[in-house]
Structure 1
Amino acid sequence: MTEECRSDLILAGLKGRTREEVLMELASCLVRAGIVKEEGPLVEALLAREDLGSTGVGDGVAIPHARVAAIEHPVLVVGRSTQGVDFRSLDGKPADLFFLILTPDGKTGEYLQALAQISRLLRRAALREALRRADSAESILKVLKESSEES
């Protein structure tokens, strides 16, 4: 999934201080890129998913995800926060790396495959640290591309 990642879908300096603000920033990125028409319904879907259980998986990582009818293929948006955000993570620590995954509604196989790939990738501490050091969308993209080539 990281091989399709684009620099216009990477936010290296998230400003949101709450879970809702971060999700809105990530959704706004998709609107600017022309992938979805509006943020509201997407943020509602993401918050509904969060209500089922936090997507803050620990080690400073959150993987918000949803299945939506408005898209035809899986999409990944990456965000990095310098201050960290309370995402109700499993380890109780703030999240600073966000990987928003959207898949088309009804494509359960693609949904599970995308989640598994990102989860596997982010288990690597060296990758997480390299992403934290990256200071631009382009440098984050480079780290992701190199790590997917190594996988």
Structure 2
Amino acid sequence: MTVDDILAPEAVILGLRASAKTALLEDLARRAAQSLALDAATILGALVRREGLGSTGIGDGVALPHARLESVRKPFGLLARLREPFDFDAVDERPVDLVFLLLLPTAEGDDHLNALACVARKLRDPDIAAALRIARDAAGLHASISAPSFSHA
């Protein structure tokens, strides 16, 4: 599985304004609901429940809010670079400026775990994160996260 299987070019947001985790999750849930023709409140509820288990702020300014939903048939992603970083209760206590929303089907399967691992691996790559932070437009953001990764020796 690749990021291109999860993230459509039109599902990238540059300069998103958010001042708090709840407001950000509400905005992302609304956008995902429009893309998937689902109920925003259902998506938000699943995201909030997952955040209740522990922050999805994975460190280095990155958050990966995710949830499983019965109405989702295949992994779906939204990528946002925030206008201003803010506190997301990340594991390293650093403010977050890159957010990848990932919605997964409830059916268990390797593909779904692979989707989460694939996105996390990309976002944890310092070169990719740097490219995401300097991209000039949404197409540049999408290209930066979609580019093949090369492991560092």
TM-score, normalising length: structure 2:
0.89
1:58 maps to a residue whose letter is G
Query: 1:14, 1:25 within 8 Å by CA — same for their partners in 2?
Result: no
- Number of the residue aligned with 1:91: 92
- How many pairs are equivalent? 149
Q: Deviations over 1:37-79 (max 9, x none)?
A: 2211111110110010000010000001100011111111111
- Number of the residue aligned with 1:17: 19
Task: Tell me, in whole angstroms, the C-alpha distance in 2 between the residues paired with 1:78 and 1:147.
Answer: 17
1:55 maps to a residue whose letter is T
Aligned pairs for 1:2-151 within 5 A: 2-4=3-5, 5-33=7-35, 35-147=36-148, 150=150
Query: 1:103, 1:110 within 8 Å by CA — same for their partners in 2?
Result: no
Residue 129 of structure 1 and its aligned partner are, at CA, apart by 0.9
Gaps of 5+ in 2: none
Which secondary structure does the structure 2 equivalent of 1:112 belong to?
Answer: helix
Displacement over 4 Å in runs of 4+:
none
2:43 maps to a residue whose letter is L
TM-score, normalising length: structure 1:
0.90
Residue 10 of structure 1 and its aligned partner are, at CA, apart by 1.0
Residue 108 of structure 1 and its aligned partner are, at CA, apart by 4.3
Larger mean CA deviation between 87-96 and 134-143 belongs to 134-143
Gaps of 5+ in 1: none
Task: Tell me, in whole angstroms, the C-alpha distance in 2 between the residues paired with 1:20 and 1:116.
Answer: 24
